[in-house]
Amino acid sequence: MIRYLFVFVMLIHGLIHLAGFAAAFGFSRIDPISSEITRPVGALSLIATISLTLTTVFFLLRNENWLWAAILSILVSQTVILMAWQDARFGTILNIIIVLGLLTDILTKEINVIFRD
């Protein structure tokens, strides 16, 4: 159950970044924001969407590369959030959830290695 909740968080986070991309390139409008989303920030938002989607797919397939994809996703996502902090600061909470999932996976693997030997 937690696994699917984690997947849901990553997908929703990616969709939120997709909204930033759409707003920056004039495909849609986000009313409650206080500043304009520039095209470079919109492009980074699209990269965040793609990387979060890949992270989710890798995670669901139990592919070890999900860890690296998650790190890339968090870095890109947090960069976008920092560039639009006033409007996007709550996205940091979703990134923290992803970091916690990442750390949980790493620690679980380390504990398994310790007790296997």
Q: Are 95 and 53 in contact (CB under 8 A)?
A: no
* Mean predicted lDDT score pLDDT of the chain: 91
Q: Give, as one character, the DSSP assignment of residue 61.
A: T
Distance between CA atoms of 98 and 96, rounded to whole angstroms? 5
The two three-digit tokens of residue 16, written as one number: 């939120």
The predicted model scores a pTM of 0.88
To the nearest 10°, the Cα dihedral for 14, 20, 24, 26? 90
Low-confidence ranges of the chain (pLDDT < 70): 34, 117
pLDDT, residue 109, reads: 84
CA 35, 81, 63 angle in degrees (round to 5)? Answer: 145
Q: Are 82 and 33 in contact (CB under 8 A)?
A: no
pLDDT, residue 117, reads: 58
